[in-house]
Amino acid sequence: MRLQQKAVLITLVSLLVAGTWIVYQQTTSKPATSFNMAGGGVELLPAFSFPDVEGVSRSSNEWAGRILVVNFWATWCPPCREEMPLFVELQKQFAERGVQFVSIAIDEPGLVRDFYDVYGINFPTLIGGMEAIKLANTLGNRFDSLPFTAIFDRNGNSHYIRAGQVSREILMAQFDKLLQDS
């Protein structure tokens, strides 16, 4: 291999490693009690509206006063599919205590409806497009990662964000904090 080819190869590998490190740093969980735009997110839940799986327009103000878990996902995303049964279970467990899951799919409506039925989803599932991606970016999803989850307290204040799959332990810890405060 010529010296010039080796230099190009080393540069490409270096860029790949650096890019992977940046994505890793951005996808590790971090509590978000006071976001601002410079920090990558918002302090308050912005108003949004998207159609649900039945085509009915649903608005964020419907869930005012609840602890809101907003999850961005797609049917083709393996970690997204893995999270859904947990969300279904926790929605059932915590609904009476004021926790509301809302998922926003960045996918084709027909695929989302099929997924919704097969997985027995028991919370609002909205279908977004480019506007949903913009909303996720506003909430702190700087790299368009899926899944992406943002949790807001009863007053709509940003509490937690996570790029990548979220675990039961993380959600339970966040719910414990938010339910104690209310």
* Residues 38-51: tens digit of each pLDDT: 345 678 999 999 99
Give yes or no for residue 182 having a pLDDT over 90.
no
For domain 32-181, say whether CATH 3.30.450.20 is its number.
no
Give the start-to-end residue ranges of the domains of the chain: 1-30, 32-181
User: Other CB atoms closer than 10 Å to residue 31's CB: what's the count?
Assistant: 14
Give the global pTM. Answer: 0.77
Do 67 and 100 touch, CB atoms closer than 8 A? yes
pLDDT at 68 over 90: yes
**3-class SS of residue 73:** strand
User: How far apart are alpha carbons 172 and 147 in whole angstroms?
Assistant: 18
Q: Where are the alpha helices (DSSP H) in 31-141?
A: 78-94, 109-119, 130-138
Asked which of 1-10, 75-84, 104-113 is least confident by mean pLDDT, the reply is: 1-10
